[in-house]
Each structure stands twice: as structure tokens, then as C-alpha cells.
Structure 1
Amino acid sequence: MAKVLVVDDAKFMRMTLTKMLEKANHEVIGEAENGREAVEKYRELNPEIVTMDITMPEMTGLEAVKHITSEFPDAKIIICSSMGQQKMVMSGIEAGAKDYIVKPFNENHVNEAIERVLK
């Protein structure tokens, strides 16, 4: 079981992911709707895992990944991208993200990514 921070500008996506994570016995300890909020919540909540949307207002997911990993090098961040955003995913991994999942979310893929980064 992991404590997870869910970051996405779409409330529906946060709800969908939260349901999947809770079903797999993970605890969603916080949500953020943009990158700036994600960095603040990370500092405040110290989650074990972050699911990070890439395209968000105020600060993108990629910028948030860079901020978080520069401050917390061991942060476990999973990038959430839409189909066809491979380039963004690679940038996210280079910025310090540990894995990625593709939207629309598939429960098995979400759980597999969480398991991989927890190892």
C-alpha cells in the first residue's frame, strides 16, 4: 500500500485515478490541479508516489517533476500522458519521473506502474 498524491487539472481524471488506486488498497493522501500546487502538496504531504499529468495550467507536469526531483531526488513520480505524447513522456523520464501511464487509464497498467516504482 502506498500513499499517493494525484495531480491532474481535470477533476474527472483525479476521481477516476483515485478510485482505481483505492480499489488496489493505496491511500490517496492529496490532490492537486496544477504543477505549482503539486510541488506545494509534495512538500506538505511527502507522498510515496505522485501521479503527474503533463499538460496543466500555471505550471506543467514536466516543470513540477523537475522542481520536486531537484528538492527530493528520491521522489517516485509517474507521468500520466495522453496517447501520442511519447516525446513528453521521455522528457518526463529525463526530468526524473520513474514511470508513466497512458490515458485513458487502464486499471492494470496503473497498478503495474505503481508496483514497478515501489520496488
Structure 2
Amino acid sequence: MPLPIVIADDSLLPRRVLTRALPKDWDVEISYATNGREAIEHYRAGRASVMFLDLTMPDMTSYQVLDALQHEDLNTFVIVVSADVQPMAQERVRALGAIASCRSR
């Protein structure tokens, strides 16, 4: 059974880069979201055991997505990926439940 993954970023290039960065031997089913609201919809549809979130997106930011996940008691592994993850942002997303934050290049 494939691992359902959501890659949420409002830009196509980072979505492609993250997709290619996943190990080729992983059995995954990837869904894409261009904003946080779509990411939440994918989760509710059962397509997000793991979620990669861009820090800033239109409609809902990763902070708002993480807050919604916490308040609705939704359970997924979230990794925040952004070109500009400052220490304060890293602390904030981890406090909201992200398991990791990393800088994309």
C-alpha cells in the first residue's frame, strides 16, 4: 500500500524538486497542493500521511495549516520546507507540530 504524501507549495519548481528528492524505491502516492487549504483537503481525503509544506503560500500559510491540524486533532507528519526558514520560524512551526523544518535551495 503506497504511503500518501502531500507536497504543498504555490510554485511548481519546488513541487518538482521535492518529488525528485524522494527515494526512488519508496512506494508513495503523491498529491499536490498549491495552497494550505488544498493541503488540508488532501488530508481529509486520506492522502496525507506525510505532508511537505512551503512556509508561505496564498490562502493559508503553513502556520495556519499546522494550527488547523492541531485544533482538529488531525494526525500527519509535517515537514516545513522553505527557501527562508529563520530560527524563529523554525521554532514556531515546531511548536505548532511540525516534525522538521528545512531550507530548500
**Pair 87,72 (structure 1): closer, same or farther in 2 beyond 3 Å:** same
In structure 1, the residue matched to 2:57 is: 56
For structure 1, list consecutive stretches of 5 or more residues without a partner in the other structure: 105-119
1:66 is displaced (CA, Å) by 1.1
- The CA distance in 2 between the partners of 1:28 and 1:69, in whole Å, is 24
In structure 2, the residue matched to 1:19 is: 20
- The CA distance in 1 between the partners of 2:15 and 2:47, in whole Å, is 18
User: 94-103 vs 82-91, which deviates more?
Assistant: 82-91
In structure 2, the residue matched to 1:108 is: none
Name the amino acid aligned to 2:76.
Answer: A
Moved over 4 A (4+): none
Contact 1:79 1:100 in 2 (8 A): yes
Q: CA-atom RMSD, angstroms?
A: 1.9
- The CA distance in 1 between the partners of 2:79 and 2:85, in whole Å, is 17
What TM-score do you get using the length of structure 1 for normalisation? 0.76
User: 49-58 vs 21-30, which deviates more?
Assistant: 21-30
User: 8-17 vs 45-54, which deviates more?
Assistant: 45-54
1:81 is displaced (CA, Å) by 2.2
* 1:102-117 equivalence runs, <5 A: 102-104=103-105
**Pair 26,78 (structure 1): closer, same or farther in 2 beyond 3 Å:** farther
Contact 2:90 2:101 in 1 (8 A): yes
For structure 2, list consecutive stretches of 5 or more residues without a partner in the other structure: none
In structure 2, the residue matched to 1:111 is: none
Contact 1:62 1:95 in 2 (8 A): yes
Name the amino acid aligned to 1:7.
Answer: A
Contact 1:54 1:61 in 2 (8 A): yes
In structure 2, the residue matched to 1:116 is: none
Name the amino acid aligned to 1:27.
Answer: V
> Which digits, 9 at most, give the CA deviation of each residue in 1:62-90, with x for residues without a partner?
10111123223432101112245221121
What TM-score do you get using the length of structure 2 for normalisation? 0.85
Which has the larger share of helix? 1
Partner SS for 2:52: strand
